[in-house]
Structure formats: C-alpha cells, structure tokens
A and B are shown apart, each in its own frame.
Chain A
Amino acid sequence: MVVNSGYSLQILYILIPIFMIVNKSRNVKLFSTGKLSPKIQYFLSALTVVIVSLVCFSFKNLLDYKIVALLLLMTVSVVAMLFEILPVLLAAVLSAIIWNFFFIPPLYTFEIGNAEDVLMFLLYFLIALVNAVLTFKIREAEKKARFKEEKENELRLYNTLLNSLSHELRTPIATILGSVDMLKGNVPKVSAENQMELLKEIGIAADRLDRQVENILNMSRLESGTLRPVTDWTDMNELVHRVIYKVFPCNTHQLVFQQNENLPLFKIDAGLTEEIVYNLLQNAVQYTPSGSRIDIEVKHESESCVIIISDNGNGFPATEIPLAFDKFYRLPNTKTGGSGLGLSIVKGFAEAQKGRVTLGNNTTGGATFTVEIPAETSYLNNLKNE
C-alpha cells in the first residue's frame, strides 16, 4: 500500500496552521526554546531531521518519496517554530540533501533521474528556505510586539510615578521658594511673627522633601536588586521604641506599644526593619481619623519575628486589600500627602529579608498589618539577670 500524496497534503494543511497557532500563544513553555545555546539548537534541529528521515527510510516501501518530501518539509516548519534562523536553515539544507541522497531515485547518489524530480528538488529547497525565513520573521514580529507592550506598561507606570511624585515634590519646593521670596523681598512688610511662621514652613517643607527622597531612594534600592540585608542581633523592643520616640513624634494619634519582656534578640537587618515599622505607622496615622488608636506588638512565633500593627480606624475596603502593596497605589478619594510608595517599600523590605507582610481587617473595625521575618534568635538577654 502506498499512501496517497493528496491525503498527506490535506493533513499538512491542517497541521501547519495548528502549529502556528500553538506557537503564537506563547503561554506554552514547551515552545519557548529560543534561550537554548546555539550549539544545542544546531544539534537538536539536525537530530530532528535525521530522526524523521530515519523513520521515513524504514517505511520506505510504504511511502512514496514525494510524501517523504512533505514530511521533511513539515519537520523543517516545526524546527522553524522552535529555533533561531541559522539552525533552521541547517535543518532545511540537511533535509534537502538527505531527501536527494536517500529518497530520490536513483538512490544513494546526488544525481536526480528525471527533469520533474529536479524541479521538485529545487522547489523543495526553496520552500524549505522560505518556510524557515517566514516563520523566523513572524517570531521576530511577535517579539517586537511583546517588547512594545512591555515598554507601554513601563511608560504607564512611569507616568503614574511622575504625577504622584511631581505633586509630592513640587508642593514643598513651592512652599520653600515662596517663603524665601517673601523673606527676601518684603522683610519690612512681614511681621516678625509671620517671618518665624514662614521659616517654620520652610523647615516642614524640607523635612517632607527629605522624607520623599528617602522613599524614592529606598524604592530604587529595591528595584535595582542591589539590596543586601545586613543582619545583626537586634533588640526589637528598643527598635520599636526608637521609631516611636525619635523618628516618629506623633501627637494626633494614640500609639500603644506593649513591650514584650520575653522577646529574644532577632538576627535581622535593623535598618530595613526600622523602615518597615516606620512606614506602617506612617500609613496608619495617614489613613485613620485623628485620635485613632494604633497598637504595636512584637512576637516570636514559628522561627520568625512577627510585628503586628493594628488600628481602630475604618479598615480597608475588602476589594482594595490585594492592591494595597502595589507601587503607587493609593486608596481612592484619600487626602493628599503620601506618594503611594510606603506600603510597597514595606513589602519589598520584608521580602528582601525573606519575610512577608499581610493585611486584614479586624472584626472590631480597623486594619491589621502583620509582618513576619524569619530570623535566628538569641535568648541571651533573658538568661542574664545580673
């Protein structure tokens, strides 16, 4: 029995578009072999052609040599979907030579018996090459489209950054420049009291600028991937007190820290952890009504340093919780002040220490942030009591 060449053509017509479609939906990891080293690509494409040829050769008696040509062409198409242009061309040339030598009569010579076969061979060669080049071009176009899409996403993020930052940076700068102009030009007209007031505003604005720059620097440290935690034994009670007293003098909210006397020392990065606590407190103060209570608790649980910061404010809308740690995300309709970077820095600094941060609403109202940082502990501090 000899398979009719008409049927196999139909099969190919169906198969090739299917491969094209599968290949286009790049979710299928199997087909993204473009990252293989060139040597392996050459080897695999030649191997594929040789294997298909061998299979065809063993069924030589059943298959017409013209069908073999179609099967080899299909093989080249498949190879073209997987590899770079040069390994594909190798497959095209190799398959043409094999076809000529092993299948076109007279067998085992490069000679071709009749004029029709010469034409077939030339056509085969051309189609294989065109196929290789076209598939390659399609993939290039896809790559470009993907690249463009990524660029557009980046641009969108960048614009959000610019909008948010230009407001956050320009406001204090406007305050400083305006106040300085007043003090420079109008000193006789501005009362001594107002002069002091302007100076105070300049100070506040500069502090705000400093804080924003700190945020941006922290963010870029995270993004650049150069952040390497420097761990050392840390007294968390001391750290939290330090944030509360020094970094964070707050008189609009009630900060309650119940010191845990049995807490061990944790081997963590104190600088990053201080930023985490600071940003969470800052966030709680920013987004809860004046007079709200903010509770801070530190525990040693399952090999981790666990920091819990909860407030009795309005809580987080459930739909917004998954977005809370996104860069530049801010709750809709919130008051100005804040760049939307604080919580993403918290997340980044927790993850940099192989930890995590979660957010949930309390049953009694208000939100709770929980930070877990896996850490070595030392109970040395509790053993020694004089």
Chain B
Amino acid sequence: MNRAEILIIDDEPQIRKLLEITLESNGYKVLQAETGREGVIQAASHPPELILLDIGLPDKSGHEILKELREWYNKAIIILSVQNSETDIVKALDNGATDYLSKPFRTAELLARIRSAIRRNETSNKNTVVEAGDLQIDLAARSVRKNGELLKLTSTEYNILSLFARNEGRVLTHHFILKEIWGVGYQTETQYLRVFVGSLRKKIEENPDNPRHIVTESGVGYRFQ
C-alpha cells in the first residue's frame, strides 16, 4: 500500500513524538524537521503529501516558511498554532495555508483535518456531488438535498453553500468568503455573511442553534462539514 507522507515542521520534540506516534499508527509515513530551514529543504528534496507547520518556529517565523513553501508547493499545509492567536491564524490562511489546528488539539480532530486536506489534494474540483451527513450538494445541477428532499435556497445562499461544499472540512476566512461571493470591495461587510449563514443554517441544520454543518470558528471564519 502506498502510504501518504506527512512532513512535520515543529521545534518541540514532544509534539513531534506525539504526532509521529499518532500518524504512524494511523497509516501515514512521517518525516520530521526541527527548524523552518530544514523543513523547506526536506520538502524540496522530497515533496510530501501534506505538511504540518508550526507557526512559532525558532529560526524563522512560520509565516515566512509558509510563503516560501507556497511559491512552489501546492499540496496541503496545515498550520499548528497556539490558542488566542486568531490574527495569526487568519494571516496564515489568507497566505495559502489549507487549514489550522490550535494547540492543544485532540487526536480525532487532527486526523479529520489531515484526511480532509489530503482528500482535497487528490480530488480537487473533480467531484460534482458533495455529501456531508444528511446533505447532498450537486454542484453540476446546482441542487441541494437534505435526507433526499430538495431544499429551496436563494441564489446567494446556494453560492455560499457551494463554496463551502467545494472546501468541505476546511476553514474559510470571512475575508475569503466575502471576496468569493460578493467580490472585492465587500471583504469587510461581515454583516451580510452573518445574515446569510444564519438563514442557510435554518434551512440545512437539524438544530440551527447547535449547527453541525456550518461551524463557526471564533474570530477566524466558518468550516463546512
């Protein structure tokens, strides 16, 4: 079996060990780098399927490493960051990070993020039907079904949902969604986004007060799953 390779760039040996054990026992091949410089060299000589990049590296900031990598590396990069650093996270996502995880993170969350990021590497934009739990979004037919039943969405609601569906499992920043749906110039008009996400939730969620599909990532954006 061809095992997916994951490169960990993190200066903390304990975190690397934990990630190594977790990932190895879930069938991934693990490569490790202690510094940003070493990470870039390793990634260049042997491009992995996914990179886990710590934002707080000792030699260079993770943001710089991310930019360097993004000049040529187009597979998934998941940022590891500490809590309370929403601005850091948003910056990294807007600079091309695929997703992020806050330390301390839970293993199940880590594996879900990795699976979804790798899946996107393989299938980017090929799937026309996205399934998420009881939801079925047909991107070709522009239709949405919940438990097989067709939902009536306004065109903006559909556009937002289809953007989410094409980025299933991945966090999207407010800035990114606003730019994609309303275009440049609307990037700070988050009140529109709140309103439409609210009305979308009422239609697609079992319990809109405790949403399962469109999850709010406080201070960062939304994640569709």
By a beta-carbon cutoff of 8 Å, the part of chain A in contact with chain B is 206, 210, 214, 217-218, 221, 230, 232-235, 237-238, 241-242, 245, 259, 265, 270-271, 274, 378, 380-381, 384, 386
Contact = CB atoms under 8 A, between A and B. Distances in A.
Contacts of A380: 191-192, 195
A235 B218 contact: no
Given A259-B209, A380-B191, A386-B154, A235 B198 contact: yes
B190 interface: yes
Q: Top 5 A-B pairs ranked by shortest CB distance?
A: A233-B191, A241-B209, A245-B210, A381-B195, A233-B190
A245 B190 CA distance: 23
A35 to B, nearest CB: 36
Contact of B194 (A214, A233, A245, A386): A233
Contact of B198 (A210, A378, A381): A381
Contacts of B154: 386
A267 to B, nearest CB: 8
B216 interface: yes
**Which among B86, B191, B209, B210 has the greatest number of chain A C-beta atoms within 10 A?**
B191
**Which among A233, A265, A384 has the greatest number of chain B C-beta atoms within 10 A?**
A233
Contact of A270 (B83, B191, B199, B219): B219
A378 B192 CA distance: 10
A210 B191 contact: no
A7 B83 CA distance: 75
A30 B83 CA distance: 48
A352 to B, nearest CB: 14
Given A217-B84, A270-B218, A270-B219, A265 B210 contact: no
B104 interface: yes
B87 interface: yes
Nearest to B84: A217
A386 B192 CA distance: 13
Interface in B89-104: 104
Contact of A271 (B191, B195, B219): B219
A362 B64 CA distance: 55
Nearest to A259: B209
Contacts of B194: 233-235, 238, 265, 381
Contacts of B218: 242, 270-271, 274
Given A214-B83, A230-B87, A271-B86, A238 B195 contact: no
A11 B87 CA distance: 68
B202 to A, nearest CB: 10
Contacts of B199: 384, 386
Contact of B104 (A210, A221, A378, A381): A210
A380 B195 CA distance: 7
A245 B195 CA distance: 21
Interface residues of B, number: 19
Interface string B194-225: 11001100000000011000001011000000
B192 A241 contact: no
Interface string B28-60: 000000000000000000000000000000000
A206 B18 CA distance: 16
A13 B210 CA distance: 80
Contacts of A206: 104
**Which among A238, A271, A380 has the greatest number of chain B C-beta atoms within 10 A?**
A238
A237 B86 CA distance: 21
Contact of B216 (A233, A242, A384): A242
A238 B198 contact: yes
Given A232-B174, A233-B191, 18 more contacts: A214-B83, A214-B84, A217-B84, A221-B84, A233-B194, A235-B198, A241-B210, A259-B209, A265-B191, A265-B195, A270-B218, A270-B219, A271-B84, A271-B86, A274-B218, A380-B195, A381-B194, A384-B195
Contacts of B216: 238, 242
Contacts of B84: 214, 217-218, 221, 271
A265 B198 CA distance: 11
Contacts of A242: 216, 218
Contacts of B83: 214
Contacts of B174: 232
A241 B210 CA distance: 7
Nearest to B188: A232
Contacts of B190: 232-233
A214 B103 CA distance: 12
Contacts of A218: 84
A222 to B, nearest CB: 12
Contacts of B191: 233, 265, 378, 380-381
Contacts of A230: 86-87, 219
A230 B154 CA distance: 31
Nearest to B87: A230
A221 B84 CA distance: 10
A83 B72 CA distance: 66
A314 B175 CA distance: 46
A244 to B, nearest CB: 8
A386 B155 CA distance: 11
